[in-house]
Structure 1
Amino acid sequence: MTLTHWIGIDYGSKTSGNTVICHHDGQVLQFYDADRRDADAFIIRFIEQVQSASIQHVFIDAPLSLPGVYSQQEGCTNFHYRQCDIALKAMSPMFLGGLTARAMELRQTLTQKHAISVYEVYPKAIALLELKNQYHKKLSKIDFPNLCNLLTAKYPDLHFNEYPRHQHQFDSLLAWLSGYRFIHHQHQIIGEPSEGQVII
């Protein structure tokens, strides 16, 4: 599988413009910021483009399932968090509400209409794994070259024409990197298969 076969997505509210796709074009990693109209339509349009025809997998920073208690899964009693959320200290899919529903609908669309596999990732987890305390949620543009160089030292396939310009682009890179680790069998899996798992 080549580096062009998957994308990483930092997923935001529908009209915020904070959704970003990270994709390797065969030469370098590129970042594509959603417009403020419809982030989900933006993602689908990107995948339907001719140059994106080779995409087989999507790695998205958004919950793709609800706590198992809602589907009467044995042993699941928590109405707010899945086991993967607790392990990663992530936000509740229920608190995220509409974003979770949109992500689940988007996965269904991509899976059924485009035969694309969609996986849940959590950029903060891979950042803490690879960058330790150098990663935080108030990074500025001047931080990204150094952080990208640290990642490139471990993952030489990372090549940039331009470094990320803001946090959402950097988080989409981390989502893409989670995909890289998955494709190369270097990943970790957090959570239960029946309830929801996160790729790190």
Structure 2
Amino acid sequence: MDQKKHPLNRPAELVVWQQFLSGDTVAFAYLMSSHFQVLFRYGSKFSKDKEFVKDCIQDLFLIIWERRDRLNSEVAVKPYLMASLRRLMNRSGQSRTGLSNEIPGENQEGFDIEYSVEEEYIEQESVRVITQRFKKLLDELPKRQKEVIYLKFFQEMDRNQISEVMDISPQTVSNLLQIAIRQLKEYWKVELLTLLLVHFY
């Protein structure tokens, strides 16, 4: 399959997923190659051990291949894979360190956003400076608030997809977004926030 000529929009992605479920090895290879970078970037926000992240991604695809006859044929593929990787990394990390079964708390390290806002959205120098200052504010948010902002604005996921990835309720997603944006408003000018959110929505 030609990835450049056939970008993975939702319907096409679902077709590939269903072909994979039927045992199509070409679809399986395409599924891996087309999602690897997204999964690697996402996994790298939880762990700085790049080899560990790669191993977890490889394990994830081996697991879904082995269990393909039991998987749902109607899924949002990217959120499903991201949620599965998140859970797998959590379990694998616990087995490596002997940690409890709980995901790290709000104030612990565990989610690091690497921004590419300048390259993707910003061309004017004045706006670039504003973005750098806005990034600093985002970096001061608690871990889960940073993650929900990343999934919403950088991965363009809706509330239900974020809920699936983070394993929290849709209402909790809304609450986290509202709290994060309220905190940003408290520490920065409203017009700055409005300017940057226009780029993200």
TM-score, normalised to structure 1, is 0.26
Q: Highest CA radius of gyration, 1 or 2?
A: 2
TM-score, normalised to structure 2, is 0.26
More helix by share: 2
More strand by share: 1
| RCO comparison, higher one (Cα < 8 Å, 6+) | 1
